[in-house]
A = this chain, B = another copy of it.
Amino acid sequence: MELFHVGLAALIERNENFLVLRRSPSKDFAPNSWEPVTGRLEQKEDPRDGILREIGEETTIKARVLMPVDTWFFYRGGKENPMVFIVFWCKHVEGEVKLSWEHTEYRWITLKEAASEPALKLFHRCFERVEKLKQHLPKDFAF
């Protein structure tokens, strides 16, 4: 019986920019690094509900999920924590960012910045995918 933690991330778009946060120095995993909103799925939770919960907890903003754009497997901090990660392209709906204890700074950056910033290396592929999809999909695309 193969069991996994499920990690989630949100690439949140607002006026052609995307939200990135700086992890607090007290985080056990990757302190001080830059990342999109991330979090862990809770039991009985749909992944789309889970990422919206995390967005609320980490930023207080309201967003909607557009679509998943990437997924991968990794060990989060050790072999005892196998994790499947799912990354969603999301759109800002309303509200301004108010950070929780989990982060110390935030920035709204362009896709080109996001896909080239060394501190966001883990997410370059996801941002590149969103950039490629945005070349073809209408601005108001939704399912």
Which stretch of A54-62, A100-108, A129-137 is in the interface? A129-137
Q: A48 contacts the other chain (Cβ, under 8 Å)?
A: yes
Q: Is A92 an interface residue (CB 8 A)?
A: no
Interface residues on A, range: 35 or more
- The distance in angstroms between the C-alpha atoms of A48 and B87, with both chains bound, is 14
Q: CB-CB < 8 A to A4: which residues of B?
A: 3-6, 41, 84
| A4, A43, A125, A128 interface centre (most CB from chain B within 10 Å) | A4
Q: Tell me whether A97 is interfacial, beta carbon within 8 Å.
A: no
Docked pose: A6 CA to B5 CA in angstroms: 9
Hey, which chain B residues are within 8 Å of A42, CB to CB?
Answer: 2
The reply to whether A82 and B143 contact each other, CB–CB distance below 8 Å, is no
* A28 shortest CB reach to chain B, Å: 14
- Closest beta carbon of chain B to A39's beta carbon, Å: 11
Further contacts, 18 of them, CB under 8 A, given A2-B42, A136-B136, A136-B138: A2-B6, A2-B41, A3-B3, A4-B4, A4-B5, A47-B72, A48-B71, A48-B72, A67-B68, A67-B70, A68-B68, A68-B69, A68-B71, A68-B86, A129-B143, A133-B137, A136-B141, A137-B137
Q: Can you list 11 A-B pairs, Cβ within 8 angstroms, ordered by A?
A: A3-B3, A3-B5, A4-B6, A6-B6, A46-B73, A48-B72, A67-B69, A68-B69, A68-B86, A84-B86, A136-B136
